[in-house]
């Protein structure tokens, strides 16, 4: 059997680095870990922590300060009981963590798995403009894809406001909706939820990815942050939806620029960069919100 290497946490905050994970080498115990860079030892830790699902204690947690830490140059060197070493680069460790986190996103897995079933051919992406040259159209190859954004640009098929989807599309026009990093920029997301209901067919799916703790951006059009429990306020039996799954990704620490005693302890609180939800249209909508978004937003809100 091949060695099992996994990373549960990989944090770099200024000079502080913390890596938590495990290495299981069948038939040979792992004794010790050294993090090396340019011939110098950055940190050490025993490999003796319990790991759920494994009988052997093969977990580790290494913490160190390194102003010049470079994952491309660093190596995790594990000392095995037979006197040999097993090495992993810092970059490989970071990618292992990112892959593990992505694999934990049940919303993402379920959405794209369900889209392979018959009857999910028409897909609408909200906020599809290829900012920073990022387009997700390729994720829906073979589907009837439509990209909507509030301004014209690459990967935009229809220019329009998500608050008024029904002004651009007929009822039940889509089998699935998809959106990444857009819901935080919606002035009235509850109104968008009602509009999504109008253009999504019964039994259709919607998968939204936004932020829970990421810093403000695209001002003045940054309005909201979402916890995993907040989604039920938008998508519920009254608005005609059922929440199938939620997910919080990329844990983050929030630290004030200037320390005050009343913040003591808060630096240990955890936020998350992303918040995701997968919902299904399962019934009629019994809510209305007819207020014009442009009439109450301040600044240059594009409409």
How many angstroms separate the CA atoms of 36 and 90, rounded?
9
Q: Please provide the size of the chain in residues.
A: 303
Over residues 32-68, the pLDDT tens digits come to 999 999 999 999 999 999 988 888 899 999 999 999 9
- pLDDT (0 to 100) of residue 303: 45
How many angstroms separate the CA atoms of 55 and 26, rounded?
11
- pLDDT (0 to 100) of residue 246: 96
**CA dihedral defined by 108, 109, 111, 116, rounded to 10 degrees?**
140
Contact assessment for residue 244 and residue 278, using Cβ atoms and an 8 Å cutoff: yes
DSSP bridge pairs for 208: 179, 277
- pLDDT (0 to 100) of residue 255: 78
Task: Enter the tokens of residue 256.
Answer: 């004030």
How many angstroms separate the CA atoms of 193 and 240, rounded?
9
Domains of the chain: 4-102 (2.60.40), 104-296 (3.40.50.150)
Q: Of 106, 82, 91, whose CA–CA distance to 7 is shortest?
A: 91
- pLDDT (0 to 100) of residue 301: 57
Q: Of 285, 290, 289, whose CA–CA distance to 172 is shortest?
A: 285
Contact assessment for residue 111 and residue 278, using Cβ atoms and an 8 Å cutoff: yes
Reported as type and span, the H/E element at residue 193 is: helix 189-199
- pLDDT (0 to 100) of residue 299: 65
- pLDDT (0 to 100) of residue 288: 92
| Helix (H/G/I), strand (E/B), else coil: 241 | strand
Quickly list DSSP for 85-106.
Answer: EEEEEHHHHHHHHHHHHHHT-H
DSSP bridge pairs for 6: 22
Dihedral pair phi/psi, residue 59, rounded to 5°: -90, 160
- pLDDT (0 to 100) of residue 293: 85
DSSP 231: H
Question: In which residue ranges of the chain is pLDDT below 70?
Answer: 267-268, 299-303
- pLDDT (0 to 100) of residue 300: 58
pTM of the entire predicted model? 0.74
């Amino acid at each position: 059997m091949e060695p099992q290497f996994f990373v549960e946490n990989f944090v770099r905050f200024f000079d502080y680095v913390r890596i938590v994970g495990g290495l299981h080498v069948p038939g040979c115990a792992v004794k010790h870990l050294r993090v090396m860079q340019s011939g110098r030892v950055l940190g050490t830790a025993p490999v003796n922590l319990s790991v759920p699902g494994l009988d052997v204690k093969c977990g580790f947690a290494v913490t160190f300060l390194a102003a010049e830490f470079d994952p491309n140059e660093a190596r995790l060197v594990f000392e095995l009981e037979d006197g040999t070493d097993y090495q992993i680069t810092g970059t490989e460790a970071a990618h292992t963590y990112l892959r593990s986190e992505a694999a934990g996103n049940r919303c993402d897995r379920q959405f794209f798995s369900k889209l392979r079933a018959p009857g999910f051919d028409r897909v609408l992406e909200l906020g599809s403009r290829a900012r920073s040259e990022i387009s997700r159209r390729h994720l829906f190859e073979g589907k009837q894809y439509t990209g909507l954004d509030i301004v014209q640009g690459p990967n935009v098929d229809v220019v329009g406001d998500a608050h008024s989807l029904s002004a651009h599309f007929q009822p039940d026009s889509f089998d699935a909706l998809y959106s990444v990093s857009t819901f935080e920029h919606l002035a009235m997301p509850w109104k968008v939820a009602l509009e999504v209901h109008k253009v999504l067919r019964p039994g259709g799916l919607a998968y939204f990815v936004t932020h829970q703790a990421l810093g403000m951006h695209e001002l003045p059009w940054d309005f909201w942050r979402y916890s995993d429990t907040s989604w039920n306020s938008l998508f519920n039996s009254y608005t005609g939806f059922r929440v199938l799954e939620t997910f919080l990704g990329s844990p983050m620490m929030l630290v004030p620029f200037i320390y005050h005693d009343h913040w003591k302890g808060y630096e240990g609180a955890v936020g998350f960069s992303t918040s995701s939800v997968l919902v299904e249209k399962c019934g009629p909508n019994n809510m209305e919100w007819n207020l014009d978004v442009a009439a109450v937003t301040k600044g240059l809100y594009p409409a």
